[in-house]
Structure formats: C-alpha cells, structure tokens
Structure 1
Amino acid sequence: MIAWMMLAAALFVQATAPRDTSLDRSLFDGRRLAGWVEMGKAGAFVAENGILHLKAPQNHPSWLRTDREYENFVLRLEYMVTGWCESGILLHAPLYGDLARTGLKLHLRHDRSPGGVRAAGALYDLVPPLAQANKGPHKWNALEIQMNWPSLRITLNGVLIQDVRLDRSEALRSRARRGYIGLEDLGFEMKYRNIAIRELPDTDRPWRPLFNRVDLEAWVPDGEARWVVEDGKIVGSDGDGSLLTKEELSAFEFQTYFRTSRHANGGIFYRRNASSNGEEIQIYNVPGSTHPTGSIYGQVPAREVSCRDGEWCQLRMISDGPYTAVWVNGRKVAESWSMASADKGRLGFQNHSDGRIEYLEPKVRPLSATRAP
C-alpha cells in the first residue's frame, strides 16, 4: 500500500511540475482564426474576446483544423464546456475520412461518468483514462498533450490521465503518426483559449508525393478512360483505362484520398510490370458486392464498406513481398500473407465504368526495416 501511495505521489508531482513554455508558439492570437481551417460549413467557429468559440455548432462533419500537419509536439490549451457536451481534440487527423479512427481523439465530456474507452479523457475507442480530472460546465480546464512517438502523455488539470506507448499494439501502432490537430464539432458549444504548441523533432519515415498537382508528366495513361488534372486532383472518367506511374516500386506504403461518383468502379493497380498485370485494390462503394472498396481483387474481399459515394475517403496500403494490407478510413478491411506476384512494378489508378473518381495527394514511402504493419 505504501509503495502504491509513493508511486501515485510521484506521478502527481511529475504531472504538476512547472513546464518551460519559453519555446512554445501560439496557435491562436485571440482575435482571428489565422492558422486554422474550417472543414464543413463555415461559421461554426469564431474568435471573440480572446476565446476560440464553437459558437454555432454544425455537428459532423464540421471541424476546425490547423493549417498544416504535425508529428511530434507538446500542445497546451484550456477548454470549457458550457453544458451537456461531448467533443474531442483530434491528433494526427487526416484531411478527410474517419478522423478519430485514422488518427487519435482525446474524448471530452461534461461529466465524469464511467465509460471506459468513451469516458472523458479516453483515447476514443482505444484506451480508457487513468483518472478523470475534467471540471464541470463553465469552468476552464488546463490540458497538456505530449506527443513524442511512441510516447503519448496527457495531463488534465495537473493530473496524468494518459500515459501510453503507441507501439505496443497494432490498434495503436497503425494509427497515423503525422496529421492535423483538430477541434471536433459534435453539435455542442465549446470554448478554447491559450492554445500553444512546441514542435519536437520528427522521427517517422517521410512520405514522397507522386503527383505535382499541376500535370501528369510522371504518369502514363492506357485505355479509353479520360485522365485530367482539376484543382490539384487527378480525375478519371468515361470508360475503361488506367493511369500508371513511370517508375516501378517495391516494398512500399501508399496513401491517397479518393472520391467517387455514384456507383463508380475503379481501383489502385500495383506490381504491374512487363510480365504481369499485377494486383488491384478495388474501389467500388456498393454494399453486398463481391469486391467492395478495399478488397484485394480476386483474393481477399473487404470486410466492410467504409466509404460512401460522393464523400472524400482515405485509402492506405502496404505491399511487401507476400504481404498486402489495406486500410480505408482508418479501418483495416483486407489483408493477405500469400501474394504470389513479384513485389515490383508500377502503381496507378484504374477506371472501369462511366463514373468518375477523383484522387488527391497520392504519396508513397519505403517500408521500415521492421516491416511492421
């Protein structure tokens, strides 16, 4: 008992020790939303009297994000709920897709009721809080988030509520390690102030863009489909065909955002070379189909349809020898350890209907030495 009391005291002292804020950079000047981007309908968030105020909530999919991505950092802010409320702070959020499942979400509520991985202070659907330290409505809460992968430590009102190693399980390890910091809008009023960040050195493998957002110079079209660049996006339409990279890739991780018109059919080609047509990750948002979006075509059907036509979604995949895995909006939907094709070839997009598919920010990176998915 004495040992447990000493440990608790040590954690409290560590969590409440004074922090050096001399290198922090303000993310909110108290007067404008400069440095932030409203996603969804504009006007939900306003700056007034030194407070970033979610004054006119729009609910999902509205949210407010930083104007650039972050990897490792110390984030400090204060927040206040004004009544019955649930909301969240988004970490490493993607531009589109399932924000809380692709990145991480610190769940915020007005109360301290039990809820496990959906209690106040939980990493949403992942890790329950060590303690609940949130104050009730109309009181300011002091929050500090230390993200230095694989370590994530969160203190709330001087109490350590999360102390997590993000490399200890696939559920945590597979989450994005870089992304936007976001303030969620779930339909409830929220207030924030004194938002500041200190960036820490990056440690993740960098991504390399496959598309310059201007032209298709690095790509080769094939077939009848029409491929154009519109507003920084690659767009395929009007029949069957493909658009492939000029370079060949092997042992890589790939990611892109995509948006389909109604019943559009297409996919991601990879391992395509002179001796093989390679493999395909299907894009077809039709429940009940044999190979819905995320399927490794002809081999492993996707477990669920995690995307809907007309909405931007995120697709991520790994190709590594006999292994392929696919995530759609943060959900692993297909996986195979028995790929027979050679892990080298060109990568690209397929169009297989009269529909239209848009692709945004396609990028790639080599796999790490550990090959951990």
Structure 2
Amino acid sequence: MPRAWHGNMMQRWWRWGWPHIWRRQPSSPGGTFLRPIDAAPAAPHNRRHARTAIHHTLAARADRRAGRGLFHRQFGCTRSWMGPRRVGRFRGPRGRHDGVRGLVRAGLAGGRSHLPLAQTAAGRFAIPPARDSHAPTHFTKPSPAPMRYPAAFFGGAHVRIIAQRRGMCCLLMLGLAGAAGAQPPAAITPQELNEGWILLFDGATLFGWQAVPAGAWQVSESALHAAPAEKAFLRSTSQFGDFALKLRYLAGPQTDAAVVARLASQSLPPDPSKCYMVRLGTPDRPPEGSLLGRKEARALPARAGWRTLELCFQGGRVGVALDGQQVLDYADPQPVRRGHVAIVCSKGSLKVAEIKLKPLSMKNLFNGKDLSGWKTYPELKTIATVTPEGWLRLQNGKGQLETEGQWSDFTLQLEVFVNGQGLNSGVFFRSIPGEIWNGYESQIHNGYRDGDRTKPVDCGTGGIFRRQNARRVVPDDRQWFWKTIHADGPHMAVWVNGYQVSDWTDTRPPDENPRRGRRLKAGTIILQGHDPKTDLFFRNIRIAELPLQ
C-alpha cells in the first residue's frame, strides 16, 4: 500500500472527523466535487489495497491525491504537499516519524509515546508496511510482518485524552477497537514479558480468582475494590512456588489488610504461621510491609494516595519493598514452599490494581545451539531444526519433539512464532513418554470467528484442548508471542502475552492416560507437528518445577 494513502486518509480524519471522510468525485472536472468515502463505491484501482481490518471496518477507498492538511500545524511537516509519492514527515515527541505511524505515535496519545505491541493482550489492527524487526528473516518466501497497533491504544484512558484534544477523531478510534471485541484494559510491557511477568488481575474481571464470601470484591475503574462489613478474602486459583509479585494499592482510613503468599488451599482465614502475610493499611503499628507474626518492617513516613508494593519469595527468603524502598528482608528457617496468592481486607476499604507475578528459579530447556535434552522421532514426518538465529523450528507433520525430562507441577514459559495463516499446533504436558500426543494440550491456533477474538477457532491459543476454550485469542499469526503454562495438581492455567486465557481444574477420575482421566504423574513436554503445513518457531523455552509442600 502506498504510504500516501496513510497520510491522505489521516488528513481527512483529522480535518473533518468521522464519519465525514471525503474523497474527490472522479467524474467531476478537476475533482472539485467532494462526497463522503463511505457513500462512494470503491475505486477499482484502490481495491487491491483493502487488505486489512481497518480497511474493511471503514469501507474506505481513499484517492491517492490530497492537498495540504493540518499536520504541519501540529507536527512541523517538512513537506507540506502529500502527493502520491511524497508523504510528509512529522516531528512529534519521539522525533521524526512518517505516515500514519507518526500520527499515532506522536499525536493521538496527546504527547505520550505509543503503546508497544505486547502492552495489551488485545486484538490489533494491521497497518502496513513496517516489517517487524523480530520476525524471522530467512524464510524461503518472506512474509512482511505488518505493523501492529494494540486496539487498547484506541480505548480507555487514551480515548478520553483524544476526546479532550482531538475532537471527533476519538469516535473513529472507538470504532476500530470495537471491531475485535471488547479489549482487556490491563497492560504489560514488552520488557516485562521478556522478563517473565504475567498479569494475575486482568483489570476487568475476577477471572483466575476466588472471592470469599462471594461478592465481597468488585471490579471498578480497572481495580479490585473491597469495603467489607466483615472480612473479605480474594484468593488466586493457581498456586505458586518461587516468585516476585508487584501491585499498586490504595488503602482508606483505618484500613487493616494484607497480601498473603504461599497460602494453603483450605487455609481461610489465613494462619500467619503457615503462610506469609504482608501488612497493608493506615494504622502505624505494625508498619506497612511487615510480615505478620514474623518480623516488623522498617517504618516509612506516612503517605497518602496510591502506593506500590513489591514482594519476592525465593526458597526461604522474603523481601518487601514499598514505593521502591526495601523495608524488610527475612530468612525463614522452616519456609512454606508453595501456595496461593491472596488479598485480605478485615476492615476499612482497599483498592488493588496492576497485580503482576514473575515466576523465579526458571531453567532453560533449549540452549539455542542444538537439540540437547530433546528427543526426535525420525520415523515421523515432523522435522526439528535450529536456525542461525538460535530458534527452534518445527516443520511438517504429523510428528513431535519431546523433552527428555519430566515434570508434574511446573510453570513453563516460551515464545512462539506461527509462520503461516491459521496453522494448528500445541504444547503437550504431563505426556506419557514415547507416546504420540498423549498428554494435556495447550492449543496453538490464532484463528477466531466473525472478527471477534472471544470466539476462537479450534479451542484458540492458550485453551486446554477438548477441555476449555481460550476465553480470548490474544496473538496474531506471524508475530512473536509469549505463552505461560502453569500446572499445579489438577489445576491448569495458561497466559498468552501475560493475559490469562484459561483456568481449568480436572475433576475427572484419576487415570494414567490423560485422555481418559486426571493424570497428576510427571510427564514430558511435547511440541506438536500437527500436519504438513506446520511451520513454527520457538525460543526462550524455560521451566520451573513447583517445590513440594
């Protein structure tokens, strides 16, 4: 698609707002008669450019020629004329950008830098032509990865900023965001994803949590809110071993609350001697950040407003930091090894937001050089190779690549790149060694129906195949994405790009074969070669085994 198309379309959005996007009427002399694009038939010479969701959503076929716009007043165009082959360049808060990318990055966010791809677990809209620097470059026929803008960028707080500063343009952005369904409001940065962080709270629902009593916790303004008449408990459905945790909280007057770690499944109310309770609240004693029943934290000056809490649990060591300052370091001679994360509010009011967890004690399963630690099956059709970039490539099928090691309760993280449209694959775990695809399967399939990411095709990426569909298809084909698979006992959960998409407990009768019943026994990890079209890349494959209680 010519870059001029971007500039011309955005000039018209900027000047008249949606839906008043105008085009020259080809039949009028000199193009002096204008009419709305959405009322005009598509020009044949532009039909080939309608390749992406934005085109279909707007039904817009823009002419390649346009006059002077308003960009030069906001961004300092170095070229005022935007003809078919001359696109103005705009200087925004992040420097020089061209085409629609300059507008989106520098302008519509009201001076804020654009949100990167991985900052949302939402659907994204492709606006060619920039090639993703992370995409594989050695394909036989390279497919340029379109530039992706997270739909969440056009919603929530950013839309409110646009409404204040950019008039009716915000209506257009809301329409774009709606094309892929409601967007998760929570965000996670690319750096956090690379470090292994996941969202325990999605900013919109209690998915992945259990409230006791029911209704004691509500979600409002992207935060958890409790104002209980009696004690309110909120417990994660997953148990964790070694991890780091960070969150933001706002405690009301006379609030008595705590964040609990490594809580046993049936331990409500929590016993401080059998878990770790980090105190939150406004009374002075014990200070915020103290481990109740174990050690008091260093007191910090009182501060109103939202605060940041960071926790680290590794082996028997516990670290606590408030607003970036370490206030406690504790070594437990008889540590509690694993359990749930919970929040307790005994009185007052408490708001909690941006709850993120990072599994610790991870070990690499793939060295980026060869297939050491993996078992291949030459008699099957799948071919596993290591690319010059140090990625694991799986092609053709039916077949598989299987680990030599076995795990029962664990957290597995890996990056995946689907090199094709609508390809099918999966990651099997607790698999029976030596058998083909015989384990629990975390699906890989990025297709969805009717433009709605909440309607996955064939279970959807992150779903537990044949058990629970992914509640949202987060990633796109030909884009790297992170996957976190967590298994503790009969409970299993999967996060894609940090966003939890499945949460399932196997209540079937016990059985050695996971196809027939509940298997808790350790098994292998299998990467699936589904069919002859299989072509996937994997990298940064790492795992942490959950310690025994």
TM superposition score category, shorter chain reference = 0.5 to 0.7
**Unpaired segments of 5 or more residues in structure 1?**
1-42, 47-53, 65-83, 106-114, 119-125, 132-143, 156-165, 179-204
Aligned partners of 1:252 and 1:221: how far apart in 2? 23
Q: What does 1:297-336 correspond to in 2, within 5 Å?
A: 297-334=465-502, 335-336=504-505
Per-residue CA deviation, residues 328-349 of structure 1 (Å, 9 max, x unaligned), is: 1222222223361243111121
Distance 1:228 1:45, change over 3 A: farther
Partner of 1:60: 115
In the alignment, does 2:375 pair up with 1:207? no
Q: CA deviation at 1:258?
A: 0.8
Rounded to whole Å, the distance in 1 between the matches of 2:501 and 2:368 is 29
**What is the aligned partner in structure 2 of residue 149 from structure 1?**
312
For residues 93-117 of structure 1, the C-alpha deviation after alignment (integer angstroms, 9 at most, x for no partner) is: 11299x8848999xxxxxxxxx944
Matches within 5 A, 1:127-138: none
1:235 counterpart letter in structure 2: R
In the alignment, which of 331, 342, 356 is matched to residue 175 of structure 1? 356
Any residues of structure 2 matched to 1:246-261 within 5 Å, and which?
Answer: 246-261=404-419
Q: Does residue 280 of structure 1 match 2:280?
A: no
Distance in 1, Cα, partners of 2:402 & 2:460 = 22
Q: Which amino acid aligns with 1:251?
A: D
Aligned to 1:239: 397
Alpha-carbon distance between aligned partners in 1 of 2:460 and 2:487, rounded to the nearest angstrom:
19
Number of the residue aligned with 1:36: none
Paired position in structure 2 for 1:352: 530
CA contact (8 A) 1:317 1:324 kept: yes
CA distance in 2, matches of 1:89, 1:289: 25
Partner SS, residue 347 of structure 1: strand
Cα contact 2:427–2:526 (8 A) shared by 1: yes
Q: Does 1:270 align with 2:429?
A: yes
Shift of 1:128: 6.2
Q: Separation in 2 of the partners of 1:343 and 1:174?
A: 31
TM (norm. structure 2) is 0.37
Partner of 1:79: none
Contact 2:198 2:356 in 1 (8 A): no
Query: Greater CA deviation, 253-262 or 271-280?
Result: 271-280
Q: Which residue of 2 aligns with 1:188?
A: none
Tell me the equivalent position of 1:8: none
* Deviations, residues 290-320 of structure 1 (Å, cap 9, x unaligned): 3111121122221111111111111111223
Q: Which residue does 1:220 correspond to in 2?
A: 375
Q: Aligned equivalents of 1:127 and 1:264: distance in 2? A: 39
The 1:246–1:45 alpha-carbon spacing in structure 2 relative to 1, beyond 3 Å, is farther
**Max radius of gyration: which structure?**
2
Q: Is residue 250–residue 345 contact of structure 1 (8 Å, CA) maintained in 2?
A: yes
SS at match of 1:94: helix
Please give the residue correspondences for 1:97-136 in structure 2 after superposition, counting only pairs within 5 Å. Answer: 101=199, 116-117=221-222
SS in 2 for 1:361: strand
Distance 1:147 1:286, change over 3 A: same
Give the superposition deviation at 1:129.
Answer: 5.2
Structure 1 CA distance, aligned partners of 2:439 and 2:405? 15
Partner of 1:94: 193
- Give yes or no for contact 1:236–1:358 (8 Å, CA) kept in 2: yes
Quote the residue 1:337 is aligned against: 506
Q: Report the secondary structure of 2:358's partner residue.
A: coil
Do the aligned partners of residues 100 and 227 (structure 1) sit closer, same or farther apart at CA in structure 2, a change above 3 Å counting?
closer
Q: Which amino acid aligns with 1:337?
A: D
Give the C-alpha shift of residue 240 in structure 1: 2.0
Please give the per-residue CA displacement for 1:109-139, whole angstroms capped at 9, x wherever unaligned: xxxxxx9448xxxxxxx756569xxxxxxxx
Distance 1:324 1:357 in 2: 24
Tell me: higher relative CO, structure 1 or 2? Use CA pairs within 8 A at least 6 residues apart.
1
Cα distance, 1:168 vs. partner?
3.2
CA distance in 1, matches of 2:492, 2:195: 23
From the two aligned structures, give the one with the greater strand fraction.
Answer: 1
Instruction: Tell me the secondary structure at the aligned position of residue 357 of structure 2.
Output: coil
Distance apart, 1:236 and its partner CA: 0.8
Distance between the aligned counterparts of 2:354 and 2:221, measured in 1? 20
For 1:280, the aligned partner's letter is E
In structure 1, distance between residues paired with 2:188 and 2:463:
32
The 1-side partners of 2:190 and 2:323 are apart by 12
Deviations 1:151-210 (A, max 9, x none): 45338xxxxxxxxxx9434997973336xxxxxxxxxxxxxxxxxxxxxxxxxx410100
Structure 1 residue aligned with 2:132: none
Which residue number in structure 2 is paired with residue 23 of structure 1?
none
Q: Residues of 2 paired with 1:272 and 1:293: CA distance?
A: 19
